[in-house]
Amino acid sequence: MKRRLLNAFKKVHQVPGVKQMVRPLVRRQMNKAIDAAAAHFFEHFTLVVARDEKEQRTCFKTRHQVYCEEMGYEEVRQTKMEFDEFDEYAISCYIKHKASGDCAGTIRVVMPQHNGQMLPIEQNCPDAIRIDENSPKRYARHAVCEISRLAIPKRFRRRQSDRNLSPVTGKALDKSFNRKNRSRNFPYLTLALYFFAATICVLRDVENVYVMMEPKLARSLRMLGIEFNQIGGVIEYHGERAAYRLSPEEFFQQISPSLHRFYHKIAKELEAIPNFGSFRPKPSSLVSKDQKTRAA
Helix (H) / strand (E) element for 207: namely none
Q: Where are the alpha helices (DSSP H) in the chain?
A: 2-13, 18-44, 53-63, 120-124, 189-203, 215-223, 248-254, 257-271, 285-295
- Listed as own residue / partner, the contacts of 221-229 with beta carbons closer than 8 Å and 24 or more positions apart are 221/191, 221/194, 224/30, 224/34, 224/191, 224/255, 224/256, 224/259, 225/254, 225/255, 225/256, 225/259, 226/194, 226/251, 226/254, 226/255, 226/259, 227/254
Residue pLDDT, tens place only, 79-93: 999 999 999 999 999
What CATH number does the domain located at 34-295 have? 3.40.630.30
CA–CA dist 100, 93 (Å, integer): 18
CA–CA dist 263, 254 (Å, integer): 13
Residue pLDDT, tens place only, 137-157: 999 999 999 999 999 998 887
Residue pLDDT, tens place only, 99-115: 999 999 999 999 998 99
Report domain extents, the chain. 34-295
pLDDT band at 266 (very low <50, low <70, confident <90, very high): confident
8 A C-beta contact, residue 228 and residue 209:
no
Higher pLDDT among residues 249 and 160, named by residue: 249
Q: Tell me what percent of the residues of the chain surpass a pLDDT of 90.
A: 38
Query: Mean pLDDT over residues 218-230, rounded?
Result: 80
Q: Residue 191 contacts by C-beta under 8 Å, 6 or more apart in sequence?
A: 221, 224, 262
Orientation angle between helical segments 18-44 and 257-271, nearest 10 degrees: 20
- pLDDT score, position 228: 85
Segment among 21-35, 91-105, 154-168 with least mean pLDDT:
154-168
> pTM above 0.85?
no
Residue pLDDT, tens place only, 33-73: 777 777 888 888 999 999 889 999 999 999 999 999 999 99
